[in-house]
Amino acid sequence: METENLQTFQQQVADLLLRHRSVLDVSSKFQESNSRVNRALMKAVTECGCIQVQAARQPFAEGTPLAETKSSLDSHLNGSLCDHCLEVVKTEMGKNLFYLAAMCNILEIGLDEVVREESEKLSTLGVFNMR
């Protein structure tokens, strides 16, 4: 997202957030919205079945070049979200972003600043930034 879009979004959140102005309220709503993203994904697997999770240990062989290792890693996800599940997941992610922006507002942090600084870290540290 461009800086201008992030600033506009953050301002919209500031204008709309009325009930949950406490850091405690926003923190708990942010955590709840994250759980709802995860729940929407789990329902796509367990109720709809449009995606499947087939997980196994990732193959990390010592001495293998990073590019080769990267290409051998798996997301453990098979299929793709159907239109309904995609819409639900995107809606829940949007709410999660809303509460992230609300937390930024309470802490007087620009969301664009957070994204820019994280992007700079990724650019600078590259693969050494793995978490």
User: What per-residue confidence (pLDDT) applies to 62?
Assistant: 78
Query: Percent of the chain having pLDDT more than 90?
Result: 66
How deeply is 36 buried, as exposed, middle or buried, from its count of CB atoms within 10 A (0-12, 13-18, 19+)? middle
Spatial contact of 102 and 12, defined as CB atoms under 8 Å apart: no
* The pLDDT of residue 102: 96
Q: Rounded to 10 degrees, what is the CA torsion of 60, 51, 44, 53?
A: -30
* Domain hosting residue 46, numbered range: 3-129
CATH number of residue 56's parent domain: 1.10.287
Residues 58-117: pLDDT tens digits?
877 777 777 777 777 888 999 999 999 999 999 999 999 999 999 999 999 999 999 999
Number of structural domains in the chain: 1
What's the confidence (pLDDT) of residue 58?
A: 82
**How far is residue 1's CA from residue 14's CA, in Å, rounded to a whole number?**
18
Q: Is the pLDDT of residue 131 over 70?
A: no
Assess whether pLDDT exceeds 60 at residue 1.
no
Phi and psi for 52 in degrees, rounded to 5? Answer: -130, 150
